Amino acid sequence: MSEGRVVGIYVAPGQGKPMESRDLVRALAGKGLEGDRYAIEAGKYSGTRIVDAQRAVTLIEREAIEGANGDVALDESETRRNIVTEGIRLNPLVGQEFTVGGVRMRGFDLSHPCGYLEGLTRAGVRKALIDGGGLRAEILDDGDIKLGDAVTPA
């Protein structure tokens, strides 16, 4: 599997709040990204079927966003995913450890687009991202993640 890189970083301070772009973010093991709603258990799905540690961070491929744009215009921040990658397939990382910069993570499951996301954006988003909605991952180590960092399978 090839190495990718981080091309976008986003956090939202609260449920339904706009995603804010960052050049650098602190990853907190078992919690999430500093400044993001899931790190403080204030996300739409906090406390639901998936424990927050396993939804600590979400990643999405820039290639998937670009592919979806053939069906529906979508900005990276509108995906409500934390880290946008380029050059690496994320779906095979379910159940696998990988690193983003110097931060170890474990892919938990695929982050399929939901009705809540479509309600915050526009009709057609769920269908457009059905196979490329991203990856939910658990953060295993504290550390900084910055634009340009490598995304590498273990």
Q: What is the pLDDT of residue 57?
A: 93
pTM exceeds cut of 0.75 = yes
CATH of region 4-153, choose from 3.40.50.720, 2.30.40.10, 2.40.33.20, 3.30.450.40:
2.40.33.20
**pLDDT above 60: residue 140:** yes
pLDDT band at 46; cut points 50, 70, 90: very low
Question: What is the 3 state secondary structure string of the chain?
Answer: CCCEEEEEEEECCCCCCCCEECCEEEEECCCEECCCHHHHCCCCCCCCCCCHHHHCEEEEEHHHHHHHCCCCCCCHHHHCCCEEEECCCCHHHECCEEEECCEEEEEEEECCCCHHHHHHCCCCHHHHCCCCCCEEEEECCCEEEECCCEEEEC
